[in-house]
Structure 1
């Protein structure tokens, strides 16, 4: 696992031992950032269920202004990776349950230009996080939320403010869905 491009290009990220964390594959990450294009520059990023921090760190490497990383188990690993990539100065790391943190961020009236949500598959977590972001108004008006989940997880929760504007499937296991407050396709 590495940072693909930008100021930290080629930096290898440390991954946790065991199989409790499933990092986004480099080819999926590269495709994702190609879709996002220049939207990453100067963006305020929220990386939920951050794991290694790879998505948020990639965004910082590509010019995002800041990234808030949320993970209950891997906060120290994210910090280590952010320091190694020399991106720690723009990183905020929170150790906590992502769904509780989302409620707290809503209370604080925070908003983000890009939100990455990559929880463990088949646990209903992406649906709950998506509903919470929708309810709490955490996505900026021109922002984009990207959810990674299993291909067999078809049903979308009922949303009031967010709309699915794009879907990409990778192999037999992974789907990315892009959500926006405006009904328009995500373009670079």
Structure 2
């Protein structure tokens, strides 16, 4: 597991010892950032269920202005990887439950250009996170939420402000879904 491009290109990320991680594969991460392209430049990024911080740190390496990494189980690993990539000064680490942090960000009126959501599979956490983001005002007007989930995890609650604009499958297990705000008429804005 490594940073693919940008200022920290080639830097290996450390994973928690003895912890069953399911990091985003390099080819999936590369495809994701090819899709996002130059829009990552100067962006404010939220990486939920950050694990090693691979997505948020990749965004910083590619020119994002600031990244908030949230994971209740791995804050020490996140701090170590931020320091190792020399991206710590633009990284904010939150050692807490993703849903509590989403509520806190809403109260603080924080807004993000990109929200990456890569929770453990098969627990319904990605759908719960999308519902929480949908209910708040965390996503910038032209922002994008990217969820990584298992290909057959597609059940969602009713959403009022977000619409799925794209889905990409990688093998039989991994799927990326991309979400944007809906306009008043229900279309994607």
TM-score, normalized by length of structure 1?
Answer: 0.96
> Which segment drifts farther, 149-158 or 65-74?
149-158
1:29 aligned partner: 29
Q: 1:101 matched to which residue of 2?
A: 101
Over the aligned positions, Cα root-mean-square deviation in angstroms equals 1.2
Question: What is the match of residue 142 of structure 1?
Answer: 142
Q: Highest relative contact order (Cα 8 Å, sep 6+), 1 or 2?
A: 1
Q: Does 1:131 align with 2:126?
A: no
Deviation at 1:158, TM superposition (A): 1.2
Q: Which structure 1 residue ranges, 4+ long, deviate > 3 Å from structure 2?
A: 182-185
SS in 1 for 2:122: coil
Alignment partners' CA distance in 1, 2:125 and 2:174: 15
State the shift of 1:21 in Å. 2.1
Secondary structure of residue in 1 paired with 2:28: helix
Match in the other structure for 1:166:
166
> Structure 1: which 5+ residue stretches go unaligned?
none
Map 1:37-186 → 2, pairs under 5 A: 37-182=37-182, 183-184=187-188
Gaps of 5+ in 2: none
More deviation, 152-161/102-111: 152-161
The alpha-carbon deviation at position 184 of structure 1 amounts to 4.9
Cα deviation for residue 19 of structure 1 reads 4.5
Q: Structure 1, residues 4-59: CA drift from partner, whole Å, max 9, x if none?
A: 00000000000112343211000000000000001100000000000000000000
| Residues paired across the two proteins, number | 185
SS at match of 1:141: strand
Moved more, 95-104 or 11-20: 11-20
User: Which secondary structure state, in structure 1, belongs to the residue aligned with residue 69 of structure 2?
Assistant: strand
